[in-house]
Structure 1
Amino acid sequence: MTEPITLALVGGALLTEGVRFLYDQAGELLRRRRERRDAAPTREPVAIELPAEVFDGQLVDPVLDDARLAQVEPALRDAWAQTAGYAQGIDPVEVTDRAALVRIDQLRVALEAALGQRITFRGEQRESSGVRITLRIDELWGSARTVDVGVLKGDLVIDETIGRATGDIVVVRADRIEN
């Protein structure tokens, strides 16, 4: 998890608007999960535009994967419930309240896990919102390719940890990269 202290640098008004947005998005994903619980899992594009006055950067062609959503649902549901007071204006968001910052960060992290992309507040000391790839290979015999796409849009951050590998590793292969 991100150190929630980075959220303290954002400011109360921005955090208040941001937690409302994150809370609403989490609620939409939880409703979708409830409605599709018995359906075959799908991967579908979702239209989520981060408010530019609150967040740094944009999500890049976000896709909602029902299987991934099912995995993160417990954490997303808990974080959504824990931030309800802030999102609905009942409890003020104070940048000095570490417990509030942790709850807001947990909501953000759960949404990031569901969408597979970073969500960064404006003014936060963190990479911009967008695509992130985390790769961990303990041991590899042969070859591995983690991302193989036609067009890669936006910024991409890759964190990789590779232990013992015998063979070829291609982290990203793209026909074209667009920013």
Structure 2
Amino acid sequence: MAEPVTLAVLGAAVLTEGITFLYGQATELLKRRRERKDQAALVTPAADDPVLAGRLEPVPVDERVLEERDEELITLTERLGSYVHGIRPVDPANTELIAQVEALRSLLELAYRQRITFRGEEREPAGSQVDVVATAKRVDGLLVAARIDSVRGGRVNVDVDVEEVGETGTVYGFQGRTLGG
């Protein structure tokens, strides 16, 4: 969900709340994942937090993202802990901090399959729009960039770039039933 950095325009108070929100979401996600054995799939907690511009909808978490990027999620969460606990001051001009917050938000957006937008940011509201980018040199099987079996709102943007589709290859940018209500 790459886009221009919007967090740097937020004031320190909203940025602090945003960092705390992301830290809490990531920590809870990591804890629930670690404790989960044969339970049902993890679900994004519905979040109607005042720091958000919009609302996160309760949807299944993308387990593949957690599996492939859990060390990165842990590292980013640990790095932001000192800001959450007031050990370090939050400064919107700190480009390293902004980059870490953006990276954590991007990971959570991938796992939650929805935007996380803070009040005061100029971007789509939280809970809306899923952006998918898929790049492949060659496809000889099936490539589905976005498969949706319900959502009832929001938008999906799919960008698929395939250099070559083999004789047995099939590429779908979007496949599924229902997106909007």
TM-score tier (shorter)? 0.7 to 0.9
Q: From the superposition, tell whether residues 94 and 142 of structure 1 become closer, same or farther in structure 2 (CA, over 3 Å).
A: closer
Q: Give the corresponding residue for 2:104.
A: 107
Normalising by structure 1, report the TM-score: 0.78
**How many residue pairs get matched?**
176
Matches within 5 A, 1:17-28: 17-28=17-28
Deviations 1:50-70 (A, max 9, x none): 42x322333343212444323
| Unmatched tracts of structure 2, length 5 or more | none
Contact 1:72–1:114 under 8 Å retained in 2: no
Contact 2:73–2:104 under 8 Å retained in 1: yes
Residue 43 of structure 1 pairs with residue 70 of structure 2: no
Post-superposition shift, 1:110? Answer: 2.5
Post-superposition shift, 1:49? Answer: 0.7
Residue 6 of structure 1 pairs with residue 3 of structure 2: no
* Root mean square deviation, CA, Å: 2.9
Normalising by structure 2, report the TM-score: 0.77
Post-superposition shift, 1:29? Answer: 1.2
Amino acid at match of 1:46: T
Post-superposition shift, 1:31? Answer: 1.1
Q: Give the corresponding residue for 1:155.
A: 154
Structure ranking higher in strand proportion: 1
Post-superposition shift, 1:32? Answer: 1.7
Post-superposition shift, 1:141? Answer: 4.9
Q: From the superposition, tell whether residues 148 and 8 of structure 1 become closer, same or farther in structure 2 (CA, over 3 Å).
A: closer
| Unmatched tracts of structure 1, length 5 or more | none
Residue 57 of structure 1 pairs with residue 59 of structure 2: no
Q: From the superposition, tell whether residues 113 and 142 of structure 1 become closer, same or farther in structure 2 (CA, over 3 Å).
A: closer
Q: For residue 54 of structure 2, give the secondary structure of its aligned residue in structure 1.
A: coil
Q: Give the corresponding residue for 1:134.
A: 133
